[in-house]
A and B are shown apart, each in its own frame.
Chain A
């Protein structure tokens, strides 16, 4: 079982929709959670970074961590065609150098 699992998609939504992207993880020691956005032929760009459980909001993006169910979510409100990209979730434990990534979900927002 992979430590971080992510549905590869692709996920297609109409412009303006609310998008929900999800990951599950298996390691209870994970404390930090990240979401990256990766456009085609580019490196991953850090979108959101959260510690432990709870919500974090930044503009149209909300990251949510539920440690009891080991579930990580990224919500995108009012989705735009420019949000079309692959979204990667990742986790790590403080004091380690090991960042564990999901394989990414490809999102397509249709104009």
Chain B
């Protein structure tokens, strides 16, 4: 079974802090993704990476950056946290787009920015 592990389930940070969200997958997947999930808005893609050191902006990249130094690890960075970044953050991974490459999600990090 694919396992996607997010390092924190709950985080509380102050406005202006730099925040790191970590994600590790154990299935040697090429692709990794960061989404945020908000009530009524569904899942929105922040960034994704299709290879080590490669990244692409998603639909809402403003205020975020990412890092992928190793294939199994994908980090989301909030450069200067703001209250409108309070949300559930979900990491996901998939193999190279093909018949058998659905997304597999971690359990999420619920971030509160005060």
A residues at B contact (CB < 8 Å): 8, 32, 34, 36, 41-46, 49, 51, 88, 90, 92, 94-99, 101-104
| Cβ contacts under 8 Å, B108 to chain A | 41-43
- Interchain CB contact under 8 A, A43 and B106: yes
In the assembled complex, the CB of B56 is this many whole angstroms from the nearest CB of chain A, namely 7
Q: Mind listing 13 A-B residue pairs with CB under 8 Å?
A: A32-B99, A32-B102, A41-B110, A42-B108, A43-B90, A43-B108, A45-B105, A49-B102, A97-B31, A97-B56, A99-B45, A101-B42, A101-B43
B residues at A contact (CB < 8 Å): 4, 6, 31, 33, 40-43, 45, 48, 50, 56, 90, 97-99, 102-108, 110
| Cβ contacts under 8 Å, A95 to chain B | 97
| Cβ contacts under 8 Å, B107 to chain A | 42-43
Interface of A is mostly: loop
Given A97-B31, A97-B56, decide whether A88 and B43 contact each other with a Cβ distance below 8 A. Answer: yes
